[in-house]
Chain A
Amino acid sequence: MRVLGTLLLILAFFNDEVHAQKKLVIHVYEAETNKPVSKATLKSSSNNISIETDLNGNAEVLTNDLIGADTLMISHISYSIRKIPISVLLQKPKVMLIPKTHMLRELIIFNRKRKTVTINRYNKTIPFLAGLKMAAQRLVSPRPGALLKTISLERNIKNGSNPKTRFILHFFDIDTDTGGPGGELLPEGIEVNDKDHSKIIIDLSDCELIIPGKEFFVAVEWLYIPINQYIRIRSEMFPVTEYENGQKIPWIEYTGNPSFILGKQGARPENDKQFQRVKIASGAQVSKVNQFGRLIEEPVTHYQYWFNPQLRAVLGDGPSQIWINDGTPNKPKWRSDAFRKGARLAITATLNY
């Protein structure tokens, strides 16, 4: 009888485990005062959830109810509506609401005028790296809950080459563990198309994008599509090599690999002893040398494609403010970029706070 009772207890315990659902408490605050906002409505994009915050600005939802929803919409009569990705809320269940314009008028009476600020201003820029999946610039707002108005981005346009560009602009919260980009603040980002501006200004007024904390990231995602491609033609010096019968090897028969110098760029014959050990292509035995025993080189013209936009960066002091995502498998998604000391991307943000 005692055994049966124990069994029943165990069963009951497991039954509870099966039915137990994880709760998520979402805290809603006013961005300027940090006071809790009660009676704010939370609705999920899948329409499974429609609840209100309590007097402490808290709303409790079951994580199971969030399945199938991408975003949670938080609305209140006195505040601007916010849409936040579920993925962001699961990491950080804190929402900051900013008062609507008619409320701001009241705030003016109390001498609390909203300010506009442009952050990450710069002067002299240099070209930034190419061939990445994404590059993100860390930006710091003067206050949490600021409204992002515009992004301005500087890029290189070479005279005569394709100036057209199409890319995706992403906005990320900060990942508190890594200090790099975290959850995406605007699902799927914004597609930007530009014909020929070296400074692209993106108006974000329609997005109502509120930065929850002080720190955030603005990232450019390159699209490797024909519309972004441009060609560069260059000439490179290569040692002239002959077959044993004295016939010159055509350049298209050259295959370089790490065992011989042809595969290396920037090697100089006077500085690099390896340069004397040239063995190229099957059947090639000798490299052509001059009367002093030096390798004879010839300029080889070849072309390469690059993809717009070619961003520009600013140099400075301290650690780099740029994070990159090169899409390499088996590597952390984002890593701090050691491009140059104190480097920042030439991206400015205008905020209302």
Chain B
Amino acid sequence: MKKYVYRIGCFFFAVINWKAANCQVKSIILNRYSDKNLFYHVGTHTPLSRFDYQQIAQKFKISLTGLVLDKITLNRFISKVNDTRIKDFDRTTFKINIHNRDPFTSGPGKLLNTEEIVIADAHSQQITVNLKSRKIKLPDTVFFVAIVFLKSSENERLVKGYPDGSIPFLPPVQEFKFWPVYQPFINMAAEKGPVLNVWAMDSSGKWSLYNYFSPDLTDLAISAELSSSSN
């Protein structure tokens, strides 16, 4: 009899604990960034480095597993130029991928979204993507939100460089070539964290830490809103 009482007790204790763990998580926002002082962005060739990446990703860490990704908010560079000849500089279509952690590289691994997430925007600096209906469950305590650059003419923007691929510090006056880059140019968060959380996928499909702004900046201006699966 004692044994059964103990077992029933354990069962209820487990249920209460599970409930507590899940019900605590009404909504969590990870990497909450300020939309002020966003002066740096990724996605462009600069005189210091070329940006030859297919994807850029922000790493997120949580203490619980089994939560659902409800919303993503990202902030990007907007041109703000008073020149009527400059049209559609900010227009873009891109994809978002959600990745699990790769156990070997600790970078982005298995894809967690089963359907494509395509975003089209013409002029917004801050873009919010509602993912509730997609029910993306996060099985691990680490996940990644990746921006996939689409190499289309709509996204193509130009920088004047040299034919060898380098970008000069001053505009080239004689020999030059227009080199393409692709929208969106995702802003870096102004708040500095203890570790670098930005990963980039190169043209061969290999992920590595993106340390262009290290050690001054550590995160992309991408926040993620999570809730428990019971919601």
Contacts and interface: CB of A to CB of B under 8 A. Distances in A.
A231 B213 CA distance: 15
B179 interface: yes
B176 A256 contact: yes
Contacts of A301: 85-87, 89, 157-158
Nearest to B171: A304
A76 B180 CA distance: 64
B85 A303 contact: no
B48 A226 contact: yes
A90 B44 CA distance: 48
B177 interface: yes
B173 interface: yes
Interface in A208-262: 224-227, 229-231, 233-235, 250-252, 254-258
B188 to A, nearest CB: 9
A267 B210 CA distance: 40
A136 B48 CA distance: 24
A299 interface: yes
Given A227-B216, A231-B77, A305 B175 contact: no
Contacts of A302: 157-160, 178
Nearest to B162: A255
Contact of B80 (A160, A230, A250, A265): A160
Contact of A263 (B39, B87, B175): B175
Interface string B67-92: 00000000001011101011101000
B170 interface: yes
Interface stretch (A118-126, A161-169, A181-189, A344-352): A161-169
Contacts of B167: 305
Which label, helix, strand, loop or mixed, suits the secondary structure of the A interface?
mixed
Contacts of A224: 47-48, 169
Interface string A151-183: 000000000111110000000000000000000
Interface string A128-167: 0011000000000000000000000000000011111000
A229 B89 CA distance: 20
Contact of B39 (A230, A300, A305): A230
Contacts of A130: 169-170
Nearest to A253: B178
B158 A251 contact: yes
Contacts of A131: 169-170
Contacts of B159: 302-304
B9 interface: no
Given A226-B48, A302-B158, A163 B174 contact: no
A45 B175 CA distance: 50
A264 interface: yes
A307 interface: yes
B170 A252 contact: no
A235 B160 contact: no
A233 B89 contact: yes
A95 B194 CA distance: 47
A130 B47 CA distance: 14
Contact of B46 (A229, A234, A250): A229
Interface string B149-161: 0000100111110
Contacts of B79: 233
A2 B83 CA distance: 94
A252 B159 CA distance: 9
A263 B174 contact: yes
Contacts of B153: 250
A192 to B, nearest CB: 15
B178 A162 contact: no
Given A263-B174, A305-B46, 10 more contacts: A226-B213, A233-B81, A235-B86, A255-B177, A256-B174, A264-B174, A301-B87, A303-B157, A304-B171, A305-B169
Interface of A: 130-131, 160-164, 224-227, 229-231, 233-235, 250-252, 254-258, 263-265, 299-305, 307
15 contacts: A164-B39, A226-B212, A229-B46, A231-B41, A233-B79, A234-B86, A251-B158, A251-B178, A252-B156, A255-B163, A263-B174, A302-B158, A303-B44, A303-B157, A304-B159
Interface of B: 39-41, 44, 46-48, 77, 79-81, 83, 85-87, 89, 153, 156-160, 163, 167, 169-180, 212-213, 216
Which 8 residue pairs are nearest across A and B when measured between Cβ atoms? A162-B39, A299-B85, A131-B170, A235-B85, A302-B158, A131-B169, A255-B177, A263-B174
